[in-house]
Amino acid sequence: MSISTVPQMIGGKATTDAALRTQGTQPPSTRLVVNPASGQPLAQVEIDALASADAAVHAAANAFPAWAATPVGDRCQFLFSYKQTLEAHAEELASLIVREHGKTMAEARGDVRRGIDCVEFACAAPTLLMGKSLPQIAVSSSFCRTEDTSGAGIDSTVDRVPLGVCVGITPFNFPVMVPLWMWPMAIACGNTFVLKPSEKVPLSAVREVELAHKAGLPPGVLNVVHGGAAVVDRLITHSDVRAVSFVGSSTVARHVYSTSTAAGKRAQCMGGAKNYIVVMPDANRDAVIEGVLGSAFGNSGQRCLAGSVVIAVGDAAQWFLPMITSAAAKIRVGPGDAPGIGMGPVIDEASRDRILGFISSGAAQGATLSLDGRAASMPQSGCFVGPTIFDNARPGMRIVDEEIFGPVLTIIREPSLDAAISTLNRSRYGNMGVIFTSSGYSARRFRTQAQVGMVGINVGVPAPMAVFPFAGWKQSFFGDLHANGEDAVKFFTESKITVSRWL
């Protein structure tokens, strides 16, 4: 599919969709996919194509028996081939991300690279799926005594078996990587999958799935359906769906978790975040500035691992504030594919207006505006906001308590590490927390006391590799088993116990 001719229509499965629409479903409405740096329309995407959702689940359900019966080693042959295909198309995918999302080319390459990591991890499925066994299980309680009271000759095993049709619903901010958190491991485990990508960035997901079919994935194993809330609600309550993996804002994560679990589905729902970085007076100053700059302003602040609040402890603010303000003011803002650009646009006009509203609220609620992103040198058209820094903020202000999801850094001053940890722990979110220090004692205290699922020590963005779970806490996560790592293997499989005796 070419995206150079615009706008084009992206729907679900066109043939089945058309057939189902003649049965009485309303024609779907659409949303324009726009390059946020230029305002150029790229495509149109259906947003309430319920018939497409049904058709996608139907295709996945039909493909499940044969795919589940395919030996795991053979399923992995596809993943090896897909990894090579992604490597060969990495630059193309990164360019597509820049066009529809707006991030810089370097950030887009990172998006693809971290997605490929997930495919590589899924290639280990033969090892990851191995069950356990215990020969000669003991029979000690009277209720299971048989004529053979020793239990000799009775063996027990647990196998991990696929669930069936799994659904993935993804956000706009990592258009290639987040879908790859989900479906490669799901299908490696023998499930079939329906992906509902963000309607703001559907082109990258479509290309990602096209490449999977180019790499040899059989039809029906992986399906894409486009849409918004109505399509999500249809998918997560569909009788043929067994499990739901969601990534997005906390409000929607809670809704998807409660709705899908009430409908009997297994669910893991990754939500929003408000992440704190504690800067101790003894920290390496250059490492702090580099780490905070990347964490707060990378991806224009649109990361669930963005460090958006710095707690400067003791007199750290005296050097931190001038250094970070000077460094942030030097970030060049513009289209992500232009040379020398350090920060691209935010995703759309609604998002830009929301961020500008937060900047106004910070000033109105009494924080000190140290760097005003509204006054930055940047293109006049497109959805741009420059790096913004507030000092002297306090909990209770909207810029401290709410997720902004934009390039706004808020500084709080606290007298001690314990006061900093206590402020951090007030947050209703718990995705990640970072400390910059040269003290092992402070680092250890932070690691044990901070109520977050991912801790960074002298690292601005503690993003786990795909072999580890992506482990948000509190309102940053709804469910039990996280994405990635062995959690993902357990999430996408069921335990089956066999107790056997051969007479």
Sequence-distant (≥ 6) Cβ neighbours of residue 208 within 8 angstroms: 93, 115, 176, 179, 180
Give the number of other CB atoms < 10 A from CB of residue 417: 22
To ligand NAD, the closest distance from the beta carbon of 23 in angstroms equals 24
Question: In this structure, what DSSP letter does residue 374 have?
Answer: G
| 171, 362, 386, 460: residue in contact with ligand NAD (rule CB under 6 A) | 171
Q: Is 271 in the site for ligand NAD (CB under 6 A)?
A: yes
Stretch in the footprint of ligand NAD (CB under 6 A) among 12-20, 149-157, 192-200, 311-319: 192-200
Sheet holding 30-34, edge to edge: 9-10, 41-46, 30-34
Please confirm, yes or no, whether 304 is among the known catalytic residues: yes
Among positions 347-406, residues that touch ligand NAD (CB under 6 A) are: 403, 405
Q: For residue 27, count CB atoms less than 10 angstroms from its CB and return exposed for 0-12, middle for 13-18, buried for 19 or more.
A: exposed
Of the pair 125, 169, the CB lying nearest ligand NAD is at 169
Q: Using CA atoms in the order 402, 454, 406, 288, what is the torsion angle rounded to 10 degrees?
A: 110
**Is 103 an interacting residue with respect to ligand NAD (CB under 6 A)?**
no
Which residue, 171 or 220, has its beta carbon nearer to ligand NAD? 171
Which one is catalytic: 123, 189, 304, 383?
A: 304
Of the candidate spans 27-35, 203-211, 270-278, 452-460, the one that interacts with ligand NAD by CB under 6 A turns out to be 270-278
**CA nearest neighbour of 320 among 368, 282, 273:** 282
CB atoms within 10 A of CB 101: 31
For ligand NAD, the closer CB: 155 or 348:
348
Residue 169 is a binding residue for ligand NAD (CB under 6 A): yes
CB 120 within 8 A of CB 461: no
**Nearest Cα to 287, choosing from 323, 312, 313, 326?**
323
The residue at minimum Cβ distance from ligand NAD is: 248
Q: Which of 273, 296, 393, 461 binds ligand NAD (CB under 6 A)?
A: 273
One of 52, 173, 245, 260 touching ligand NAD (CB under 6 A) = 173
Surface-to-core class of residue 345, CB atoms within 10 Å of its CB (0-12 exposed, 13-18 middle, 19+ buried): buried
Please report, as residue ranges, which positions from 12 to 71 form the binding site for ligand NAD (by CB under 6 A). none
Helix (H) or strand (E) holding 495: strand 493-501
Q: Is 111 in the site for ligand NAD (CB under 6 A)?
A: no
Per-residue binding string, ligand NAD, 250-269, x by CB under 6 A, is --x--x--------------
Residue the block writes with tokens 């799926």:
129
Residue 42 C-beta: closest distance to ligand NAD, Å: 17
Residue 86 or residue 169: which is nearer to ligand NAD going by CB? Answer: 169
Instruction: Output the CA–CA distances (angstroms, integers) from residue 138 to 134, 148, 149, 156, in the order listed.
Output: 10, 12, 10, 10
- Interaction with ligand NAD in 199-238: which residues (CB under 6 A)? 199, 228-229, 232-233
165-169 and 241-247 beta bridge pairing: parallel
Q: Which residues are catalytic?
A: 304
Interface with ligand NAD by CB under 6 A: which residues? 169-173, 178, 196, 198-199, 228-229, 232-233, 247-249, 252, 255, 270-273, 304, 403, 405, 431, 470, 472, 476
